[in-house]
Amino acid sequence: MAAEVPRKPNRDAEVAAVVLEPPPRPVFLPWGRASAPAEAIAKRRRRIVRIIGGLASLAIFCLALVVLARTLSKISFADLRSAIAGTTAEQIAAACLLTCVSYLALTGYDAVALRQLKAKVAYRTTALASFTSYAISFTLGFPLITGGTVRYWLYSRAGLRASAVASLTIIAGVTFWLGMAVVVAVGLIFRADAISRLDHLAPALNMALGSALLGSLAAYLVWVSIAPRQPKIQGFRLELPGLKLTARQVVLGLTDLAAASGTLFVLLPAHHGLDFFTFAAAYCFASILGIASHAPGGIGVFEATMLKIVPAPSDEALFASLLLFRVIYYVVPFVLALAFLGANESFRRWQSLREAMLRGQERDPD
């Protein structure tokens, strides 16, 4: 048999094959994960956003401290004591009643969230967890840490997992912001002239901002009513409430913010010149700045904003109202929350000890 002559490689054919070969298809990682470069870019963006947010919070806090320091330097403490002493018992009683209404509405935040999560928890547990978590987080700040810890401590005994408690906290936060959006939007639309004297914007611009905010809220209601929505919020994927529960969220948020702002409104000195709707919008704006500053309870930032935008006969009279509001709405509930948590833990330990003693008696009847 004749030997087969080896063929010379065809260089032109090899080059043509390389050129005509289709590019490799992109590889999609399982479970919807992005590629390593995309994850690195997203992580870098999140880091930049956190840095910018931290700097903005620091700037708001420092600016508020400057405004508050300038105001306090002009205040006569003798007049401040007189203004506090001049607050009537009816004002104190009305403020305490409205504080109770606000915290009662806050328990509804948790109740709606538990209904959305399809978790059955007794209302007394819901009320205790809600009141104590909000009272503590309002005073200490960092609600996801302080309020979340208290919630997990109490709700875990009712069988809720950490992921469910985290979802509950986020849904309750959505309730708060829905109420805030409605109050601000209504104030900007229907009290545009009065608010323009506070924010120094044209009434037409205030109305446009309020209309845009109200339109965004309506769009959100339509969005959640069309189909179940499961966004990823702060690392947790959860299903947002539908139209019926969202409507309850709006009502609860309105009730809470109306009562909270009413607590300060009834403590204001006479002849402040603001109607309640205008004041509620100003209250929400000051609260937003306090939240953005990340100061515990918005302390300093909230007071500086209110001193700057709310007219009053004197700075001493307005500052006295703010001090009383801080005590009634923040300090007293904080002390009560600590007392309730202590009493609840003592009762739980006593119950466990009693059950252990009864089991011991059953084993040893003699």
Token duo for residue 57: 């919070």
Taking residues 115-133, report their average pLDDT: 92
Per-residue pLDDT of 302-337, as tens digits, reads 888 888 888 888 888 889 999 999 999 999 999 999
Degrees, nearest 5: CA angle 152-174-227: 110
Indicate if the pLDDT at residue 198 is higher than 80. Answer: no
Helix (H, G, I), strand (E, B) or coil at 29: coil
**Is 298 part of a structural domain of the chain?**
yes
- Phi, psi (deg, nearest 5) at residue 118: 60, 40
**Is 81 part of a structural domain of the chain?**
yes
**Is 4 part of a structural domain of the chain?**
no
What's the confidence (pLDDT) of residue 191?
86
**Is 162 part of a structural domain of the chain?**
yes
Give the CA radius of gyration of the chain.
29
Highest mean pLDDT, choosing among 70-79, 113-122, 292-301: 113-122
**Is 161 part of a structural domain of the chain?**
yes
Domain that holds residue 221: 49-345
- Give the whole-number percent of the chain exceeding pLDDT 90: 32
pLDDT band at 360 (very low <50, low <70, confident <90, very high): low
Domain count, the chain: 1
Per-residue pLDDT of 44-61, as tens digits, reads 776 776 677 666 666 766
Degrees, nearest 5: CA angle 223-107-146: 95
pLDDT band at 230 (very low <50, low <70, confident <90, very high): confident
**Is 351 part of a structural domain of the chain?**
no
Indicate if the pLDDT at residue 128 is higher than 90. Answer: yes
Per-residue pLDDT of 239-271, as tens digits, reads 888 888 899 999 999 999 999 999 999 999 887
Residue closest to 317 by CA, chosen among 67, 88, 65, 75: 75
More confident call, 142 vs 168? 168
What's the confidence (pLDDT) of residue 64?
60
More confident call, 92 vs 225? 92
Question: What are the Cα distances from residue 90, in Å, to 258, 314, 358?
Answer: 19, 21, 51
Token duo for residue 11: 């260089």
By mean pLDDT, which of 31-35, 60-64, 125-129, 140-144 is the weakest?
31-35
Indicate if the pLDDT at residue 13 is higher than 90. Answer: no
Token duo for residue 74: 């002009």
Token duo for residue 198: 């506070």
For the residues of 184-195, what is the DSSP string, one character each? Answer: HHHHHHHTHHHH
**Is 336 part of a structural domain of the chain?**
yes
Scan for tokens 């030997």, then name that residue: 3
**Is 34 part of a structural domain of the chain?**
no
pTM of the model: 0.79
What's the confidence (pLDDT) of residue 262?
95
